[in-house]
Amino acid sequence: MKLDRRHFMTVSATTFGTPFVAQLREATAQTGTRAPIAPPGLPPDAGLFEGFEAKWVRTRGADIFLRHGGDGPPLLLLHGNPQTHACWHKMAGPLASRFHVVAADLRGYGDSVGPTDGGPEHVNYSFRTMAQDQVDVMAALGHDRFFLAGHDRGARTAHRLALDHPDRVRGLALLDILPTRYVWDHASREWALNSWHWSFMAQPDEMFERMIAAIPAREFVLRHLGRSGKPAFFDDRAFAEYVRCFTPKTIHGSCEDYRAAAGIDLEHDETDRQAGRRIAAPTLVMWGRRSHTGRFYGGDLVSIWREGAREVTGGPLDTGHYLAEEAPQAVVEAFERHFV
């Protein structure tokens, strides 16, 4: 059963008691909105990235926190929701023997701080804006060109970065996603029931953020990661980081991300489609057979990506959604083969 995205969002909003309307706020868009100043000093070190340096980078609209280390060509790693850069901790050390690894928190996620106002049509949390943050981050570290990998929301940011800045990306890896436009255009009842947060977090009323905040952070994060409990492959220290960072700041930032993904991000995608714009960099796509991507959009996902990328390879792993933590060695090996 296929669902029309606009109808689904409207029905969802009505169900929750709030009409789905565009929010145009008084604040200017990305170029005119200053981010709140990041907290002084560095966040606590959970001991997940031995030998890595912690660093803040001020971009044009956010304060981005990252850890970086290793020698070799630069490789930027971007996490998903409700996680932080800590999701790469099992892979960072092995990759650092061959790459200069940069693991960054997206704006609004982890310890990174983004604007309190989402801007017109939530543009300040669009994938385009979040991608620009990461271009600024890599430039601050002295890297004009780099390898790029992302998971979940980080993969969507990476997808947009590769389209907007093709001269920056030497190679791309996308973990457990399909293009945002494709997901909405092929939504089913089964997907909607399992990926309920896509529509819930996209609702424009702040009441929904308060509803999330009313649930203990540990419980909400667990609901995302394991549904019935924390899977054994999650390191307790990484899980504690996800919970520590799941603050009102992160709730707001992540909801703004999902609001943009249901609106302005799709407009950007449609513009690219009409212009025939595709990812130029060699692209590796990997997904979990037991993830929502594998279960509800299963089959040959590589062929779907070939509609929007020139050179695509990849395939599934016998995992769920969190490939980097459930099968880190397999992902490391795939990255080492791909990023050459």
| Inter-axis angle of helices 248-261 and 127-140, nearest 10 | 120
Half-sphere exposure of 80 (CA within 13 A, CB side): 19
Distance in angstroms (rounded) separating the CA atoms of residues 62 and 124:
10
Distance in angstroms (rounded) separating the CA atoms of residues 9 and 253:
20
Q: Which of 181, 190, 193 is nearest to 156 (CA)?
A: 181
- Cβ-contact 126, 265 below 8 angstroms: yes
Q: Which of 265, 278, 270, 277 is nearest to 312 (CA)?
A: 278
Residues 225-233: contacts with CB within 8 Å, 24+ apart? 225/82, 225/322, 231/320, 231/322, 231/326, 233/322, 233/325, 233/326
- Cβ-contact 319, 313 below 8 angstroms: no
Which residue in this structure is represented by tokens 């997940």? 48
Distance in angstroms (rounded) separating the CA atoms of residues 103 and 69:
9
122 is catalytic: no
Distance in angstroms (rounded) separating the CA atoms of residues 154 and 184:
18
Tokens found for residue 237? 């220290």
164 is catalytic: no
Q: Which member of 68, 122, 143, 321 is catalytic?
A: 321
SS3 176: coil
**Cβ neighbours of 139 (radius 10 Å):** 14
Which H or E element spans position 323?
helix 323-326
Q: Which member of 63, 111, 117, 152 is catalytic?
A: 152
**Cβ neighbours of 226 (radius 10 Å):** 16
CA distances from 265 to 10, 201, 271 (A): 18, 15, 10
Active centre residues (catalytic): 152, 321
